[in-house]
Amino acid sequence: MSALSAAALHIARPAIAEWAEHATRAFAAEPRPVDQPRAVADGPAADRILLVGGGAAVGRGQTSHDLALPGALARALRARTRRGVVVDVIADPLMTIAGLAAVLTTVDLGRYDAVITTVGDVDALRGIDRSEWRERVATVVDVWRARVGDSRALLITGIPSLRDEPGVGVAHGRLVDAFSPSLNAITDEVVEEAVGVRDASPACGQLTVLTSVLPLAQRAAGRVTTETHTLWAGQLAAELVEHLPAPLRDGESGRAPVERLTSGVDDAERIAGILDERAPSLERIVTIAAAALNVPTAVVTVLGPDTQWHVSRFGLDLESVPIEQSFCAVAVRQEDGMVVPDAPHDPRFAANPLVTDAGLRYYAGVPIEDEFGRRIGALCVIDTKPRNHTSADELATLRRLAEKVEEVLHTQSLAVPTWIAGAPTSPVIASPATASTASAAVASVVA
């Protein structure tokens, strides 16, 4: 930091507190994910990553962690390692470097293969003293060394440019952007002193602490774009991957995970067998679902560790797909299910073979739970045409039909439930008479 910048910071310090308060209020008001703080890329022997901090970790501009940095990071790492990835998130738009140290002292860090931190923007906006910053970063590294040692990797992201952030005025932004590089340089110095050799391999038995500065966020309609989150994820994955176990080769199952991290259940084939015995009931349910949402295909799925089983299907010949291609494995992690209006434009699924090869465009699915409360699969409808709108009534119908699937699973009787006795058993989209029968059956479900 130049002497001129330091003098400007000193002169402006009385105004900085007011500027920072305005900026942090704007940070807190930005749209951000409302789903559970986790993203999963299914696969074998999953790596577990903790993403903690403010800034990029918050998922600004997105309403789901799957579309923000956590989901993009999980997918980027899976592409490099061929293993599954689970990214847990502890995010607060106002988290400071002091708050980060407090979090690291309370979290079970031993559960994670690596931790990525994204703090410093609030500290920079508030004009933190450089000596205090050095002390706080050293505390973070000391906590990491004491609680984790050399068996895991810590990646500290630096403070990015803040000049274009909402709520950051022109003068404040210029001042902070002149000040932040000195804080990032201090972080590098502290890390180099702690590690001895920067970017040391975990195999060397030395502390593994890395640093990286993310590029400027790009915005559309005032929101951070999914492309920005994907760009950030690619950079972080490239930094981190060499400090994780080597990528799996063909035929390898990989190391044993600390706990099962896929979306599937071990007894999926047993559950699929039970449901297969009750095929008439399920066939009517999927037929009604296709009619209710006016789509050509509906499926009841059960998720295993490696396979999605299609235990009942209307308009689909596939009996199963690999779990890594499963839309339902993502849907079951959402409390109210998931709607994908146009899959080729959704970064979670754009490269999925079901999209690129089979032409899947539209998906809507809601979870199915067994009697133990496990989300073992989903009732979903799909189409090869995009669909911009799915009404609340249509989703409510899909949820009620999913409840009927659960009833079929839970009951000990193999009899066809009376509520669907008059439902159609043949294609429902083309025939007005059949559609009328289906509508009557749907009405009996949602009444």
pLDDT greater than 60 at residue 6: no
Q: What is the pLDDT of residue 26?
A: 66
pLDDT given for residue 375 in this prediction: 85
Tell which residue, 409, 404, 390, 416, has the closest CA to residue 442.
404
Gyration radius of the chain over CA positions: 25
322 Cβ contact list (under 8 Å, min separation 6)? 306, 307, 308
pLDDT of residue 78: 92
261 lies in some domain: no
Distance CA 123, CA 132 (A): 10
Is 309 in the same domain as 402? Answer: yes
Q: For residue 340, how many C-alpha atoms fall within 13 Å in the half-sphere facing its CB?
A: 29
Tell me whether residue 236 is in a domain. Answer: yes
Same domain for 79 and 184, yes or no, is: yes
> What number is the average pLDDT over the span 301-313?
88
Q: In terms of domains, do 238 and 273 share one?
A: no
Instruction: For residue 413, name the pLDDT band (cuts at 50, 70, 90).
Output: very low
- What does the DSSP 8-state code read for residue 219? E
Pair (227, 328) in one structural domain: no
Distance between CA atoms of residues 43 and 184, nearest Å: 35
Q: Is 29 helix (H, G, I), strand (E, B) or coil?
A: helix
Average the pLDDT over 409-413 and give the result. 58
377: CATH: 3.30.450.40
Range of the domain at 223: 3-243
Per-residue pLDDT band at 263 (split at 50, 70, 90): very low
In a domain, 260, yes or no: no
Q: Is the pLDDT of residue 294 over 70?
A: yes
Please state, in angstroms and rounded to a whole number, the distance separating the CA atoms of residues 149 and 229: 30
Count of structural domains, the chain: 2
**Rounded CA gap, 91 and 27, in Å?**
12
* pTM more than 0.85: no
Q: Looking at residues 77-94, what average pLDDT do you find? A: 90
Check whether 99 has a pLDDT greater than 50.
yes
Q: Are residues 80 and 138 in the same domain?
A: yes
Greatest mean pLDDT among 243-252, 327-336, 379-388: 379-388
Least confident of 239-253, 323-337, 402-416: 402-416
| Encoded amino acid at 124, one letter | A
Question: Domain check: are 44 and 145 in the same one?
Answer: yes
CATH number at residue 55: 3.40.50.1110
Q: Is 322 helix (H, G, I), strand (E, B) or coil?
A: strand
Considering the domain architecture, whether residues 20 and 163 belong to the same structural domain is answered as: yes
**Contacting residues for 18 by C-beta, under 8 A, at least 6 apart:** none
